[in-house]
Amino acid sequence: MSNEQKYITVSGQKIPVTEELQTKYYKMKRRERYLESDVKLGRIDVDMEKEEVTFVPSKEDSIQRLMDIGQDFNTEDSVEGIIEHKAMLLILQEAMEVLNEQEKQLIDYLFYQELTTREAGKKINASHVTVLKRRNAIIKKLKKFFKF
């Protein structure tokens, strides 16, 4: 840590603060700018090499505009179902942290890259039976997080 006094500017006045507070303040200000402009407004990306201009729409949108351009919404999805799904994903993300790198790699091959057990076995130099056994052991380990 440096001994230099840190400041933040509030209403045009410099206020002395700790380095930690200054860092948090500027992160908060950056997040505020992100939410106020980056999310609400679209942007234009220019690729000079390909000579292409692409409009990237805002991350915030209205249902009406989306419906106007033909976006279909599944009306069967309830708010509770969406929240439950998101909660399950958060639990799974936390559960994945207990896996070692080899287990995470196997999950990646089988569930994200959608390789067969034989294909995954070739990548990790193991038989498809070994891959099945490891997959089952990993799933058993992850299931513990979903028992309420």
Stronger pLDDT, 53 or 71, i.e. the higher one: 53
Distances (CA, A) of 13 to 8, 23, 78: 8, 18, 49
Question: pLDDT for 70-129, tens place per residue?
Answer: 666 555 666 677 777 777 778 888 888 888 999 989 988 998 888 899 999 999 999 999
Q: What is the mean pLDDT of residues 44-61?
A: 70
**Nearest partner of 58 among 31, 28, 37, judged by Cα:** 37
pTM of the model: 0.44
Distances (CA, A) of 63 to 40, 84, 100, 121: 14, 22, 42, 45
Domains of the chain with bracketed CATH: 79-146 (1.10.10.10)
Confidence check: pLDDT of 35 > 90? no
Stronger pLDDT, 20 or 32, i.e. the higher one: 20
